[in-house]
């Protein structure tokens, strides 16, 4: 790793899927990227895709306040400031479990990761962005089309993604005096390991199982980069990026 003049990003869930794609896109664009995730090996696999990029891997469980504080402390110690948080870490939880059968422990795990983890990371980033010189920065929360409409048997995931929209709006309002811009990207059917089942068959609202189209995750990464590279005087408040023909708009 070598330092160079670049903006500094923290990406959570950077070891796979959308987090990996966004990290690689930012590194290729000249950003310095702090890669956060539960598995150090996976973070390093992300980083080596752009060997010349300045990066730092920090093992982090976003549901643990002490891990989050250590992440942002390490980011500032290594790179001096934080210009972007891509608040991406998340989990679907157990799939296909009816609400009446969902264990509380499973509900709590999804809430702790998707909502509490997003809050902890946003709070830590907000504190640094407010105090650093020059002041300000950007937070992009990874919502989901589930922030608008649920899939069957997805009560924990859907509830957290709806809550994330409220988090985004509150942070956006509270960040105005400090040049902290906050937006949200809602993604539908990006091709990752987490969405592999979509192409073979996903449960639909009518009770049938049907394959669904997906899109290249690199198209999501380019959208996040566009949002990230706007001047702080401009903000994409909400963006929805989805596979064009997925059953979302209308009745399928």
Per-residue pLDDT, 130: 98
Per-residue pLDDT, 229: 98
Q: What is the mean pLDDT of each run of 10 residues along the chain (252 residues)?
A: 68 97 97 97 96 95 98 98 97 88 96 98 98 98 92 91 98 98 94 69 75 89 98 98 88 57
Per-residue pLDDT, 251: 58
Per-residue pLDDT, 194: 64
Closest CA to 185 of 231, 245, 145, 137: 145
Per-residue pLDDT, 228: 98
Active site residues: 157
Per-residue pLDDT, 213: 81
Task: Please report the sign of the dihedral spanned by the C-alpha atoms of residue 25, residue 215, residue 154, residue 227.
Answer: positive
* Per-residue model confidence as pLDDT tens digits over 206-244: 778 777 788 899 999 999 999 999 999 999 999 999 999
């Amino acid at each position: 790793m070598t330092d160079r003049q670049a903006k500094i990003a923290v990406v959570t869930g950077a070891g796979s899927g959308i987090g990996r794609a966004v990290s690689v896109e930012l590194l290729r664009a000249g950003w310095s990227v702090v890669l956060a995730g539960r598995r150090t090996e996976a973070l390093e696999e992300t980083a080596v895709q752009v060997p010349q990029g300045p990066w730092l891997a920090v093992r982090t469980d976003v549901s643990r306040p002490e891990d989050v504080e250590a992440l942002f402390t390490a980011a500032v110690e290594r790179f001096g400031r934080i210009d972007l948080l891509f608040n991406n870490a998340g989990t679907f939880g157990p799939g296909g479990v009816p609400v009446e059968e969902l264990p509380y422990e499973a509900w709590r795990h999804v809430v702790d990761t998707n909502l509490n983890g997003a809050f902890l990371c946003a709070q830590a980033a907000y504190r640094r962005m407010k105090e650093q010189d020059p002041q300000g920065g950007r937070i992009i929360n990874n919502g989901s089309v589930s922030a608008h409409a649920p899939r069957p048997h997805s009560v924990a995931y859907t509830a957290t993604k709806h809550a994330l929209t409220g988090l985004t709006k509150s942070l956006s309002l509270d960040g105005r005096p400090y040049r902290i811009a906050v937006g949200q990207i809602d993604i539908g059917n990006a091709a990752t390991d987490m969405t592999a089942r979509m192409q073979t068959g996903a449960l639909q609202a009518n009770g049938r199982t049907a394959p669904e189209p997906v899109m290249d995750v690199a198209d999501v990464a380019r959208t996040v980069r566009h949002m990230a590279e706007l001047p702080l005087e401009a903000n994409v408040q909400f963006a929805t990026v989805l596979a064009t023909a997925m059953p979302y708009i209308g009745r399928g």
